[in-house]
Structure 1
């Protein structure tokens, strides 16, 4: 019985053991009610993702800045899986479908930062980025003070243009004034969700690692945890740079203008399960706890945010979930809920984001 074994279960590649809810101490009817509720709150986005991306309030931009420069893919239907104690106890929809995941991609950038940290390439997140990255992107008067800590907590106030997109497109992102230029703040003093700056963080990481980020994360994380070979991480048609004589695509941190991570529920859940176990997988420490301590520490300017992970310390994102929960979050909505307190990982694809907490509450009622 899975609930009585002493060794922690880690699913091998190409296989993932399914158990009944009762085998892990869950109530089957209540769990099915949670699944049914998730299925009932499918996103209002159309399946053609070119249209909702351009029509979404938080992503609206004037021409020519609204041009899509990365690949897009029609979305699948509402899907998900629930993992308890490492075992799949529920799955629905088309969980094996490789779909766009939008800003959940940002958390994969955070993992790449952790790999650079663990390799000693970025030993101090409080150091200015320009000490390691001299590509003209971190110059005075605004950008020279920006640290890695600021970049990944989204408090950098980086100012400039990258891949044809100026940072002011995302000024005042979650307001009716989105895309309205504002006075810049001192770096490190103001939190603002901004995809241009995230893409600047991705390029800075590429400069330091000197290897395409998809290759880095595949070698050090995705392959060791048994992910499929079907996920893809895209950049833009104009985001190729040359490093050490090799052309490399600087990948995007989301699907705002296309691109980002395309992945299925199972691979998402494996990454969530790795994080649930503090970076350890079957006796191997793939990413250090020292890094995760920093990545999951709350931002002073926004306690619900870490290093491109959403946190639940204030229980604002998910009032029903434990404060120790954290999330990978992408528009659409694409969500990975990691609940260490209950040994739960839940992947939700294409739900109404403002109702996701209802699903979390119903899953917890099944314990």
Structure 2
């Protein structure tokens, strides 16, 4: 008998009492209260009173590539839910509100890449991308050897400009608590593709463009048809590109979509839809007896990268120096600025979605959540 999955959006999503799900109810309530009381420090409008976009402030960004070119919408407050066995154990805030989700979109790109592999559109991750994606982006000697795996592991060291954003904008970028971005945007000497990790949104946007070229149809359509529709997600989510990211493919005008909201745009989605997506990952790509994404791809997707042990294919892993105490080594998560999280813990059949928690408090929430598990 297939494991429980929620009915399509609009129907009741079964809940389960904390004690029945293996939680201490009082401690779980405390974890939720912690999340609710540690709102993101970002302004609700996502713009500061002086007109600066939060991303430009967060990443110390100014200059020729800092222009906001995609839509930006006011955010909601803290929200989230915890699933055990696919059922809702606890839920707080507005979990249906379709908010910006920043770099969680990268993990959705990883899933789309898996579909492209399943479909034979990408024959081998170690193939040079330029073999099947025509145009100028892989014409140089340096870029010619970049593979799909390099793009997925953020080790491509691709050099160039796409949609008027240069790879240099994220040179020397750091992320996470204590990040020092005082040198961000300063040009550095590039290394051999595949040898060096750098969190670089321009290069991830390049991956989105390359997937569009392989699918020959807008990525939001592919995601809706292959993943979000079958898992019963709402119709409220959308994936927005930039005002200048339209391309022509087979005579049709299509918008290439980014892997985040660095310059606006990206994935606008609610916590409940994220939870469905996370549950699909926890269930190794199966939904109600149907395989939507291969279990082999998910295993590859969450395997450590050679250049960063706590990073897979655009998913964060509980490995290396950043290991979260009390959380299984098999757990992984999608992470977006602001802070937004989809935590997937297959070992406990647990999924947790967090919207708009102070990033410095994420570990505190995990400690409280896992401290509530019996």
**Which interval holds the TM-score relative to the shorter structure?**
over 0.9
SS of structure 2 residue aligned to 1:36: helix
* Contact 2:56-2:66 within 8 A present in 1 as well: no
* Contact 1:138-1:144 within 8 A present in 2 as well: yes
- 1:77 Cα offset (Å): 0.4
Q: Name the CA distance, whole Å, in 1 between partners of 2:319 and 2:84.
A: 22
Q: Name the CA distance, whole Å, in 1 between partners of 2:82 and 2:352.
A: 5
Q: Name the CA distance, whole Å, in 1 between partners of 2:55 and 2:100.
A: 15
Report the TM-score when normalising by structure 1. 0.96
Aligned residue for 1:307?
A: 313
CA deviation vs aligned residue, 1:324-367 (integer Å, no higher than 9, x gap):
11001000001011111111100001111122121112111222
- 1:313 Cα offset (Å): 2.3
- 1:7 Cα offset (Å): 4.9
1:47 aligns with 2:44: yes
- 1:72 Cα offset (Å): 0.4
SS of structure 2 residue aligned to 1:142: helix
Report the TM-score when normalising by structure 2. 0.94
Aligned residue for 1:10?
A: 5
Between 1:353-362 and 1:321-330, the stretch displaced more is 353-362
Aligned residue for 2:177?
A: none
Which segments of 5 or more consecutive residues in structure 2 lack a partner in the other structure?
Answer: 175-179
CA deviation vs aligned residue, 1:135-156 (integer Å, no higher than 9, x gap):
1111122100000000110000
* Contact 2:331-2:346 within 8 A present in 1 as well: yes
- 1:53 Cα offset (Å): 2.1
Q: Name the CA distance, whole Å, in 2 between partners of 1:48 and 1:122.
A: 40
- 1:259 Cα offset (Å): 0.5
Which segments of 5 or more consecutive residues in structure 1 lack a partner in the other structure?
Answer: 1-5
Aligned residue for 1:3?
A: none
Q: Name the CA distance, whole Å, in 2 between partners of 1:361 and 1:179.
A: 35
Aligned residue for 2:110?
A: 110
* Contact 1:16-1:87 within 8 A present in 2 as well: yes
SS of structure 2 residue aligned to 1:258: coil
Aligned residue for 1:56?
A: 57
Q: How many residues align?
A: 361
1:242 aligns with 2:248: yes
Please give the residue correspondences for 1:1-367 in structure 2 after superposition, counting only pairs within 5 Å. Answer: 7-14=2-9, 15-51=12-48, 52-58=53-59, 60-174=60-174, 175=180, 176-314=182-320, 316-367=322-373
SS of structure 2 residue aligned to 1:225: coil
* Contact 2:83-2:351 within 8 A present in 1 as well: yes
SS of structure 1 residue aligned to 2:280: helix
Q: Following TM superposition, where does structure 1 have runs of at least 4 consecutive aligned residues deviating by more than 6 angstroms? A: none
Q: Using a 3 Å threshold, how does the CA distance of structure 1 residues 172 and 245 change in structure 2: closer, same or farther?
A: same
- 1:201 Cα offset (Å): 0.6
